[in-house]
């Protein structure tokens, strides 16, 4: 890990526990179509709402014909009403502050318009050199487009950057991009597994100082 030049973070499940917020958001749209809400106990559909980009979510939940109308309705929602449901991951802000002193940081998320509002609400924008969302690329994760764009903006090649994610979509995107991957609090098999954000500080900041 000594050759890592920068770090890219997924949002949902990595920076925040946001399942409740995501379900509230998508259920607000589903209600307008007279559909039953997605329950957290419906693991397959709840996981979809937590990981995929909105076009894919609505296509699965409402069908292709109703997806454009759902996206239009969703665009008119003020996501700030759902931000109180989001819970920052333990030690996340402290870790970002330490990491940002030594590395350029970025976000790569299948979220769209809501990402900047979330970062501003939690005073996290100052830590990130750039933010790439599904609005910035042709294909969301699991395609590598988002990670390639983040690497371009950070002015590094993909293999010099570490992507921290929690889902199979994140892992697939990293693999396709040729970027090292660290799984955060997930059950995926990965070369690097993190249970807490402080572990990344220990690995990339504290430990190198000790060996210098």
User: What tens digit of pLDDT does each residue of 35-89 get?
Assistant: 999 999 999 999 999 888 899 999 999 999 999 999 999 989 988 899 999 999 9
Give the span between the Cα atoms of 153 and 113, in whole angstroms.
19
Structural domain ending residue among the three candidates 38, 61, 84? 84
Where is the domain boundary, 34, 54, 84?
84
Residue 99 lies in a domain: yes
Q: Which domain holds residue 190?
A: 6-17+86-211
* 82-94 residues labelled b (16+ CB within 10 A) or e (exposed): bbebbeebeebee
Instruction: Give this prediction's pTM.
Output: 0.89
Q: What is the CATH number of the domain that holds 118?
A: 3.40.50.1000
Do 139 and 174 have their domain in common? Answer: yes
> Angle 62-66-71 (CA atoms, 0-180°, nearest 5)?
95
**Residues lower than pLDDT 70 in the chain:** 1-2, 208-212
Do 129 and 174 fall into the same domain?
A: yes
Nearest to 29 by CA among 48, 65, 57: 57
Residues 101 and 23 in one domain: no
Judgement on whether residues 48 and 100 belong to the same structural domain of the protein: no
Q: Closest Cα to residue 19, out of 174, 164, 185, 194?
A: 185
Domain identity same for 159 and 68: no
The CA-based angle 167-203-148, given to 5 degrees, is 45
Q: How far apart are CA 86 and CA 72, in angstroms?
A: 23
| Pure H helices in 155-206 | 168-177, 197-201
Grouping H, G, I as helix, E, B as strand and the rest as coil, residue 163 is strand
pLDDT at residue 212, as a whole number:
47
Tokens of 208: 């190198």
* Torsion angle defined by CA atoms of residues 68, 22, 185 and 14, in that order, rounded to the nearest 10 degrees: 80
* Total domains in the fold of the chain: 2
Angle at 160 between CA 157 and CA 163, to 5 degrees: 100
Q: Are residues 93 and 197 in the same domain?
A: yes
Q: Exposed, middle or buried: residue 203 (CB in 10 Å: 0-12, 13-18, 19+)?
A: middle
Quickly list H helices, the chain.
19-32, 43-51, 54-62, 67-75, 92-100, 114-121, 145-154, 168-177, 197-201, 207-211
25 plus 107 within the same structural domain: no
40 and 12 housed in the same domain: no
Instruction: State whether 41 and 126 are in the same domain.
Output: no
Q: Would you say residue 1 lies in a domain?
A: no
């Amino acid at each position: 890990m000594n050759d890592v030049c920068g770090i890219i973070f997924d949002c949902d499940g990595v920076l925040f526990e946001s399942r409740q917020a995501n379900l509230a958001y998508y259920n607000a749209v589903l209600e307008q179509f007279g559909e039953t809400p997605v329950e957290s106990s419906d693991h397959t559909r709840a996981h979809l709402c937590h990981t995929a980009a909105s076009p894919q979510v609505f296509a699965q939940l409402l069908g292709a014909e109703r997806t454009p109308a759902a996206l239009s309705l969703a665009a008119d929602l003020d996501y700030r009403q759902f931000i109180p449901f989001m819970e920052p991951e333990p030690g996340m802000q402290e870790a970002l502050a330490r990491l940002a002193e030594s590395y350029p940081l970025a976000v790569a998320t299948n979220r769209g318009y809501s990402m900047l509002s979330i970062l501003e609400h939690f005073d996290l924008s100052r830590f990130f050199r750039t933010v790439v969302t599904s609005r910035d690329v042709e294909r969301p994760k699991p395609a590598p487009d988002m990670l390639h764009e983040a690497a371009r903006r950070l002015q590094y090649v993909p293999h010099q950057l570490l992507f921290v994610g929690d889902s199979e979509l994140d892992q697939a995107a990293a693999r396709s991009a040729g970027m090292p991957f660290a799984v955060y609090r997930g059950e995926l098999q990965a070369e690097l597994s993190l249970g807490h954000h402080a572990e990344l500080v220990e690995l990339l900041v504290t430990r190198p100082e000790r060996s210098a």
